Amino acid sequence: MSETTEHKCECAEAYRDIEQVIEKHRGDSGALVQVLHNVQERLGYVPKDVQVRVAEALGVSLSEVYGVITFYSLFRERPRGRYVISSCQGTACYVRGAPEVLARLEKELGIKAGGTTDDGLFTIEIVRCLGACGLAPVITVNKDTHGRVTEDKIPSIINFYRAQAEAESGKAGD
Ligand code: FES
């Protein structure tokens, strides 16, 4: 594997397993989704250089690999952020202002839905219902639920998690 990878996962074992799966399916273009699924499960995303490796081994084009990754929402090209913000765009949330909440999230974080901030702190995802319609509009941040969110509340919610991350990294440095 190349020296210039930007892997966040340090787990050599995961890469060995992935390599075995890729080799097992060498020349089998029909196994593309299955192989990518395995990579996604082990690493949490499908790094660019692994995409190249899969394409070469299975005998498919890189654009085909990329096409599959972008088609299925299950696959990601980058690791998710430390805080995954799920913005509900289900009907109950939608009619109570979820699009404005999402737009504010995107503006404050400088990313689009599906993206991750450069500092690796935040990922925004769109979901269709979080099962808390009575609290619409709803976002979750990891396991925390924030109900009746308005766009004006977004900066303070983001700041809360930023401060939490800073406090935790401060503790880690003690
Ligand atoms: S539609 Fe948003 S929680 Fe159900």
State pLDDT tens for residues 51-62: 999 999 999 999
- Which pLDDT does position 11 carry in this prediction? 73
**pLDDT, averaged across the chain:** 91
Which tokens is 111 given? 């990313």
Q: Is the pLDDT of residue 98 over 50?
A: yes
Q: Is the pLDDT of residue 82 over 70?
A: yes
Ligand 1 centre from 13 Cα, in Å?
39
Tell me whether residue 126 is exposed, middle or buried, using C-beta atoms within 10 angstroms of its C-beta: 0 to 12, 13 to 18, 19 or more.
middle
- Which pLDDT does position 6 carry in this prediction? 42
Ligand 1 centre from 87 Cα, in Å?
9
Which tokens is 153 given? 């509340």
Q: Is the pLDDT of residue 27 over 80?
A: yes
pLDDT (average), residues 6-35: 86
Write the single-letter amino acid at 15. Y
CA-135 nearest atom, ligand 1 = 3
Give the three-state DSSP class for 116.
Answer: strand
Ligand 1 centre from 144 Cα, in Å?
15
CA-137 nearest atom, ligand 1 = 2
Which H helix or E strand runs over 66? Answer: helix 62-71
Tally of CB atoms within 10 A around 139? 25
- Which pLDDT does position 36 carry in this prediction? 97
Which residue's CA is minimally distant from atom 1 of ligand 1?
90
**Cβ atoms of residues 141 and 85 within 8 Å:** yes
> What stretches of the chain adopt beta strand conformation (E)?
83-88, 122-127, 139-141, 144-146
Give the rounded percent of residues in the chain with a pLDDT score beyond 70: 92
Residue spans per domain, the chain = 12-71, 83-172
- Distance, in Å, from the CA atom of 38 to the CA atom of 21, rounded to the nearest integer, reads 8
137 prior amide bond cis, ω within 30: yes
Pocket of ligand 1 (CB under 6 A): 88, 90-93, 129-130, 132-133, 136, 138
Ligand 1 centre from 149 Cα, in Å?
12
Q: Fold for domain 83-172?
A: Glutaredoxin (3.40.30)
Q: Is the pLDDT of residue 1 over 50?
A: no
State pLDDT tens for residues 104-137: 999 999 999 988 999 999 999 999 999 999 999 9
Write the single-letter amino acid at 135. L
- Which pLDDT does position 79 carry in this prediction? 87
